[in-house]
Chains A and B, each alone.
Chain A
Amino acid sequence: MDEREKRVVLGNEAIARGVVESGCHFFAAYPGTPSSEILPTVVRYKKENNLDIYVEWSTNEKVAFENALSASYTGKRAAVAMKQVGLNVATDPLMSAAYIGTIGGFLIISCDDPGPYSSQTEQDSRFMAMFAKIPVFDPSDPKEAQMMIPLAFDFSEKYEIPVMLRPVLRVSHAQQTISLNPIRRIERKANFQRNPQRWSATPRLRFLLHKRLNQKLKNISEEFNSIISFNFIENNREKARFGIIAGGIGYAIAKDVLLELGLEEEIPILKIGTPFPLPTEIVDAFINKCEMVLVLEETEPVIELQIRDKSKIRGRLDGLIPNEGEMLPEVISNIISGLCKSVSIPVKELPSLEYLEQMLSEVKIPIRRPTLCSGCPHRASFYAIKKAFPNGIFPSDIGCYTLGMNLESVDTCHDMGAAITFGSGLYHVYQQDGKDIPIVATIGDSTFYHSGAQGLLNAVYNGSKFVLVILDNSIVAMTGMQPTPESGITADGHPGKALSIEELVKGCGVKYLRVLNPYNIKEMVIELRKAYRYTKMPEGGMAVLIARYPCITYERDKLKEKPTKVEVRHVPPPEKDFPPLKSKALPKDLLPHYKQGIAPCQGACPIQIDVRGYIELIAKGEFNEALKLIRQKNPFPAITGRLCSRPCEKVCRRGDLDQPIAIDLLKKFLADRIILEEYQSPGQERDGKVAIIGSGPAGLMAAYDLRLYGYLVTIFDSLPVLGGTMAIGTGRFRLPSEVLNRELEIIKKLGIEVRLNTCIGKDLTIDDLRIQGYKAIVLAIGAHLPIESIPLIQDEERVIDTLNFLKKVSLGQITSLPSDVVIIGGNDRAIDSARTAIRLGAKDVRVFFNRSRNEMPAQESNIKEAEREGIKIYFNIFPTGISRSNGKIVVSFKKAILSEPTSIGRRRIISLEKPIQKVKTDLLINSPNYVPDLSNLDGIATTILKTIKVDPVTLSTSKEGIFAAGDAVTGPKNFIEALASGRKAALSIHRFLSGEDLKKDREDEGVSVELISVPIDFIDSRPRVEEPVLPVEKREGFKEVFLLPDEHSIIEEAKRCLHCGACYHCNMCMDLCPEGAISKSKEGYIINYNKCTGCRICVRECPTSSIEMPVIGACIGCEYCLKRFECPSLIKGDDGRIIIDRLTCVDCGLCVEVCGHQAIYPLKGVERT
């Protein structure tokens, strides 16, 4: 009665049992299916039985082999385990070890994978044993594997030779009942005996060792003939028509097949447990007895090849047994049955399965392929990689991430470490051709430790430059969750050290290293692109990103930190107002279409300059073209670059990301630096003379436009200079006279007549103008008449309004100032006055504003420079009265109490508190409101605000043929709106003089209300160019304060532009389309609507929003998520729409950002079950 304990164990567990039962002292391994379970079981037995065996997970198979081998040299028993392709890695030491031999028993366990089921090859490790010239044991089941191991160790020690045990998958992963034998504890002390002639044998001695080895093999082969426990004959007889030689698993299969065929006692079987060196004696004797012999062995004809006389042999060499794929019982049954019939041995007939299998093959069963687990961080990494580089090359490696193939982010998977070496090879090859293709290699943390560093060292040393992503889930996952060196956890708990991948990467010479969380897909995409840019820099090199997140199958609790339950909408939300829609059946107007959009900057510009257009030209360095483009709409870019309030910059979409493009600065650069003599020229002469009254921006623009239309134009101005407020109402340090005059040369060049010092109403009347033949008149007289709000005292010397003050300074009527100046007001004129005052010698310049800084109308840059120049600004101070006292002007103030900010962020004054200290000064400059001076112009209707009343669309006044534009219509406003106003009036006059309808088709004139936006999530932030300023101490006189940056900075700034609404042929749509539905032609991109599924990815990813398609908000069954995200928890429902498989979903929430129609959404406030 067998007293031994029985257990049902896995084959690998039986092997581990055999190892400890043999008293093994040293065990090393590297994970690899189907061998991975051996080492953890050895550790379990070690702990259960308190054994003195050293166990380690080595960093790779060669390392494991050599570590264990050295133990054997000291006399201790050692073993190493790996999968068959792992033995390839350890081949170098293996070959040498056979020659040198061993002292303590040395067992190599190499697990084969016929099929293959989880390997790159179905190579036969017995061949490797033959090649290395070591004996190999081939077990037929787990029980036999357990029994062979002690014998293998004995053989190893007897012949001083490494011995291999070769279980196939069907043995390693079989389950079988075994009996546990007592564990031998073999006392042996390590004793390395010096023998350099052996251990460091030189080639000459190797020859002798080889001779010795060959003799060993001969002896072993002979002894194998008598190992009847593993090499024996069943159903022996003197003569047989048909016999079987069965090795390893072949024996097990043959036994069951013969049993079923009723031949279990009929057919003699020679079982071979030691295929190399073949025990030729018993083999030859057996063959002699038979007329025909079938050799059954996995995977290659190792036994067959060693049989010298093959005349009776059937098997793999003649193709009877298929040479690819696993030996299946169905196949073997047919072969044996057929052979028996061929020699008239009666065989039990078995029912045919053909009919059933035929019917089953016709049932459409969906193909089920392995895929990454739900929530796997690798999925997030691969999704990000494909998004960042839709047409990159992706060398990858062995592990769970090989499944990135399904997401089209893995191109190669060759052997351990090949991701990096393929990456560097590909890099050099494309470099040879000068071609630039993004190469993104992916490798796991454990594989990187296995053989990644070598490739990386080479890449850095040989100058390769590509992106490597190390997918660090901190575990060896695919093979069953073994620890990596990063964890510092050793196989059996002996003291070890945790290693750092970062240090290793840096040690390989990599200068660019980032550690990221792959779950943050947006950041991954940005960092991937950044890394790629680095590799392309001349001073760049290898870029390594570590995507670190634990394996969620191993660390299930990680996802409990932030569970996100999701749902998929099948019906569009009611506010979208769509019917139920299906991919491939979308109405035409809901399909994606390319559409050039008006960029927000152009939309917001009162004169609709093609801002995006000229910025693009600047980015290309085409400055002349850029200036030409500006001049199509704006004849005064140098002035605009200085005075414009920049509505374009306020809506610039770059500002959503970091800071808006410095559009005005770019314009100023062109205007100042580029000498371009090309200007627009007047059109064909038209009949009609036009009088422009006032030469401010509104009048000048009207004059310019009308002259280009072809009309004769005369400008009248009461001042001795051209330019209106630009000339006499603006700080010189903001708009120097030279710049203004240079800009206004265009007026002369176009042949516009200029009559200065001519006041219409006084020197000439409107009627006079009509008599002189002017068919139309533009009143662009500005708003220069002050309307005081505070009762002023008359004192021309010491009290003045801002406009008058600036005018007098411009005309040279004021050249110096008293020391003490007070300015009341907060608009640009007030600040300009203050800054002018300080330049004219005032020492103490104070500005008083009645609300807070936030409400100050002046430009922030103006205010900031004023403060730097030493001007003191006081807020929330409201003036209540002005008086005189002792030669000084005295201003009374009260504190203003402000309201809370309104909806646009501004505060109002709600009350005034008690008076505060009165302020005394020598000069008071006040900011009244201004209205147009209509004192000499009769019959022009005005508004309640005392501005000229006009039709808002046409700008025509109450008198026929007289139009008005600029501040005269709006009250004091800004420069750019005045320009727009002048343009509007010019168009009206043109239509007036042509007899056309003034109002028709003018609704779209002016700024746009709806402005497009573009995706900014994946753009790298870059700061805006700095506008250099003159240092305060250098601001003598009226030198211009704002300067220009250099050309390089200007071009770099222009490159920050996002090209809103204008396709710049980045090919992103074409590359990203999962259906390949977009192609490129001379005319642009074309969508093949037969292929288009309506997934909307092209629209979403277009960096310029040049493709239109609404978000439907519900699943249309386009299957984009299945294709590019491929999570097992996203499954196709019966109607083709996606549903969540709650059984497998782990609530990682990553899928929310995948759907182009935003159909997947997170459920709020739902706890994970």
Chain B
Amino acid sequence: MNVQMIISGVGGQGILLLTRIFSALALKEGLSIIGSEDHGMSQRGGSVLTHLKIGNFRSPLVKRGDADILISLEKNEAYRTLSYIRPSLQGREGGLCFINAPDPDFLNKNIKEYLKEKGIGVFVFWASKLAMDMGLVQSTNIALIGFATSHPRFPFSYEKMKDAVIEVTPSKFHEINIRILEKAFLEGKNSMAF
């Protein structure tokens, strides 16, 4: 398996936790992983961007237009990182974007059309509301990946994701995190967006 991912958001949204979840997942599967995270000044309330490459890769940076998966926890950061996503090419389907935002139609119309034309799947899901309603708004990140696992082309299964969440997050939050993951997964399944 070769998967290139971009995870973007704002400092404090738990981007690094997601990175660790995917790393744990890859390790368990015996897959090589290389990625890059932001620290220091770039974190003090700024944009956070993680590159993650699972498979046969040497460089930790995803090239723009190469990402199979874009996970964005904030809509402006989604705009900033949208050009990372891979268009469809020679029969191969385009990449998938999963964006946390309240308004499913927030994307600029022209951009939406362009992405559709290029075979790029864009899915807007209000993960923060789900997490907040479940009582743990800090797990917005968990909710978003839960939703993502419901997509048939998402490279990681719900079960494997669940195991990784349990491995990486503190035990006192296991129960609620799994409930959030599950609820988001089910909402994804029911949404028939796919």
Q: Which residues of A contact B (CB under 8 A)?
A: 6-8, 10, 33-34, 36, 117-118, 140-142, 170-171, 173-177, 249, 251-253, 255-257, 259-260, 328-330, 333, 350-351, 353, 355-357, 359-360, 363, 365-366, 368-373, 400, 402-403, 478-480, 1128, 1143-1144
Decide if B42 is an interface residue (CB 8 Å cutoff).
yes
Of B10, B42, B58, the contact of A256 (CB 8 Å cutoff): B58
Q: B19-32 CB contact bits vs A (8 Å, 1 = yes)? A: 10001101100001
Decide if B157 is an interface residue (CB 8 Å cutoff).
no
The reply to whether A356 and B61 contact each other, CB–CB distance below 8 Å, is no
The 8 A-B pairs of least Cβ separation, nearest first, read: A33-B40, A329-B63, A174-B60, A8-B23, A252-B59, A118-B40, A370-B44, A118-B41
The reply to whether B40 and A175 contact each other, CB–CB distance below 8 Å, is no
Contacts of B23 in A (CB 8 A): 8, 175
A–B complex contacts, Cβ < 8 Å, 24 sampled: A8-B24, A8-B33, A141-B58, A173-B38, A174-B35, A176-B32, A256-B59, A328-B63, A329-B61, A329-B63, A329-B66, A330-B64, A333-B63, A351-B118, A353-B83, A356-B114, A357-B83, A360-B80, A363-B79, A365-B76, A365-B79, A368-B45, A369-B45, A370-B46
Chain B nearest CB from A490 CB (Å) reads 23
A368–B76 Cα distance when bound, in Å, is: 9
Contacts of B40 in A (CB 8 A): 33-34, 117-118, 478-480
The reply to whether A1144 and B65 contact each other, CB–CB distance below 8 Å, is no
The reply to whether A33 and B39 contact each other, CB–CB distance below 8 Å, is yes
A357–B80 Cα distance when bound, in Å, is: 10
Q: A170-B60, A350-B65 are in contact. List 12 more A-B contacts (CB 8 A).
A: A118-B42, A141-B34, A141-B60, A170-B36, A175-B60, A176-B32, A351-B89, A359-B111, A360-B111, A371-B46, A479-B40, A1144-B12
A372–B46 Cα distance when bound, in Å, is: 10
A370–B11 Cα distance when bound, in Å, is: 9
Q: Which residue of B lies closest to A374 (CB)?
A: B45
Chain A nearest CB from B3 CB (Å) reads 13
The reply to whether A372 and B44 contact each other, CB–CB distance below 8 Å, is yes
A176 with B61, Cβ < 8 A, contacts A260-B66, A355-B114, A480-B39 known: no
The reply to whether B27 and A7 contact each other, CB–CB distance below 8 Å, is yes
Of B41, B64, B65, B82, the contact of A117 (CB 8 Å cutoff): B41
A173–B16 Cα distance when bound, in Å, is: 12
A188–B75 Cα distance when bound, in Å, is: 57
The reply to whether B41 and A360 contact each other, CB–CB distance below 8 Å, is no
Of B12, B34, B45, B89, the contact of A176 (CB 8 Å cutoff): B34
Contacts of B26 in A (CB 8 A): 8, 177
Chain A nearest CB from B49 CB (Å) reads 11
Decide if B110 is an interface residue (CB 8 Å cutoff).
yes
The reply to whether A1128 and B61 contact each other, CB–CB distance below 8 Å, is no
The reply to whether A176 and B79 contact each other, CB–CB distance below 8 Å, is no
Contacts of A6 in B (CB 8 A): 27
Q: Which residue of A lies closest to B86 (CB)?
A: A351
The reply to whether B35 and A175 contact each other, CB–CB distance below 8 Å, is yes
Decide if B171 is an interface residue (CB 8 Å cutoff).
no
- Name which of A173, A260, A480 has the most chain B CB atoms within 10 A of its CB: A173
Of A174, A333, A369, the contact of B36 (CB 8 Å cutoff): A174
Decide if B17 is an interface residue (CB 8 Å cutoff).
no
A921–B17 Cα distance when bound, in Å, is: 95
Decide if B166 is an interface residue (CB 8 Å cutoff).
no
The reply to whether B65 and A175 contact each other, CB–CB distance below 8 Å, is no
Contacts of A403 in B (CB 8 A): 44
The reply to whether B45 and A174 contact each other, CB–CB distance below 8 Å, is no
Contacts of A34 in B (CB 8 A): 39-40
Of B32, B35, B44, B65, the contact of A400 (CB 8 Å cutoff): B44
The reply to whether A175 and B12 contact each other, CB–CB distance below 8 Å, is no
The reply to whether A176 and B63 contact each other, CB–CB distance below 8 Å, is no
A373 with B44, Cβ < 8 A, contacts A170-B61, A175-B37, A176-B34 known: yes
A368–B46 Cα distance when bound, in Å, is: 6
Decide if B156 is an interface residue (CB 8 Å cutoff).
no
The reply to whether B83 and A360 contact each other, CB–CB distance below 8 Å, is yes
Contacts of B115 in A (CB 8 A): 356
Chain A nearest CB from B82 CB (Å) reads 6
Of B27, B59, B79, B89, the contact of A360 (CB 8 Å cutoff): B79
A1134–B111 Cα distance when bound, in Å, is: 23
Q: B106-139 CB contact bits vs A (8 Å, 1 = yes)? A: 0010110011001000000000000000000100
Contacts of A1143 in B (CB 8 A): 12, 137
A33–B41 Cα distance when bound, in Å, is: 9
Chain B nearest CB from A980 CB (Å) reads 63
The reply to whether B33 and A175 contact each other, CB–CB distance below 8 Å, is yes
Chain B nearest CB from A169 CB (Å) reads 8
Contacts of A33 in B (CB 8 A): 39-41
The reply to whether A177 and B79 contact each other, CB–CB distance below 8 Å, is no
A184–B170 Cα distance when bound, in Å, is: 33
The reply to whether B111 and A363 contact each other, CB–CB distance below 8 Å, is yes
Chain A nearest CB from B78 CB (Å) reads 10
A7–B37 Cα distance when bound, in Å, is: 17
Q: Which residue of A lies closest to B74 (CB)?
A: A368
Contacts of B43 in A (CB 8 A): 370
The reply to whether A370 and B41 contact each other, CB–CB distance below 8 Å, is yes
Chain B nearest CB from A952 CB (Å) reads 66
A351 with B44, Cβ < 8 A, contacts A8-B26, A173-B36, A174-B35 known: no
The reply to whether B35 and A117 contact each other, CB–CB distance below 8 Å, is no
The reply to whether B108 and A363 contact each other, CB–CB distance below 8 Å, is yes
Chain B nearest CB from A1163 CB (Å) reads 20
A256 with B114, Cβ < 8 A, contacts A8-B27, A117-B40 known: no
Q: Which residue of B lies closest to A350 (CB)?
A: B65
A581–B93 Cα distance when bound, in Å, is: 53
A350–B37 Cα distance when bound, in Å, is: 26
The reply to whether B63 and A257 contact each other, CB–CB distance below 8 Å, is yes
Chain A nearest CB from B128 CB (Å) reads 8
A370–B76 Cα distance when bound, in Å, is: 15
Chain B nearest CB from A679 CB (Å) reads 69
Contacts of B19 in A (CB 8 A): 175
Contacts of B61 in A (CB 8 A): 170, 253, 328-329
A371 with B44, Cβ < 8 A, contacts A140-B58, A176-B60, A330-B63 known: yes
A176–B32 Cα distance when bound, in Å, is: 7
The reply to whether A359 and B114 contact each other, CB–CB distance below 8 Å, is yes
- Name which of A174, A253, A259 has the most chain B CB atoms within 10 A of its CB: A174
The reply to whether A366 and B79 contact each other, CB–CB distance below 8 Å, is no
Contacts of A7 in B (CB 8 A): 27
Chain B nearest CB from A424 CB (Å) reads 27
Chain B nearest CB from A1120 CB (Å) reads 20
The reply to whether B110 and A359 contact each other, CB–CB distance below 8 Å, is yes
Chain A nearest CB from B38 CB (Å) reads 7
Chain A nearest CB from B171 CB (Å) reads 20
The reply to whether B38 and A117 contact each other, CB–CB distance below 8 Å, is yes
Chain B nearest CB from A920 CB (Å) reads 86
Q: Which residue of B lies closest to A327 (CB)?
A: B61
A255–B41 Cα distance when bound, in Å, is: 30
The reply to whether B58 and A252 contact each other, CB–CB distance below 8 Å, is yes
A142–B32 Cα distance when bound, in Å, is: 13
Q: Which residue of A lies closest to B19 (CB)?
A: A175
Q: Which residue of B lies closest to A250 (CB)?
A: B59
A355–B111 Cα distance when bound, in Å, is: 10
Contacts of B62 in A (CB 8 A): 329
Contacts of B79 in A (CB 8 A): 360, 363, 365
A142–B115 Cα distance when bound, in Å, is: 35
The reply to whether B57 and A173 contact each other, CB–CB distance below 8 Å, is no
A365 with B36, Cβ < 8 A, contacts A252-B59, A350-B65 known: no
The reply to whether B65 and A353 contact each other, CB–CB distance below 8 Å, is yes
A368 with B33, Cβ < 8 A, contacts A260-B63, A329-B63, A360-B111 known: no
The reply to whether A249 and B64 contact each other, CB–CB distance below 8 Å, is no
Contacts of B82 in A (CB 8 A): 356, 360
Q: Which residue of B lies closest to A329 (CB)?
A: B63
- Name which of A8, A117, A251, A252 has the most chain B CB atoms within 10 A of its CB: A8
Chain A nearest CB from B86 CB (Å) reads 9
A400–B44 Cα distance when bound, in Å, is: 8
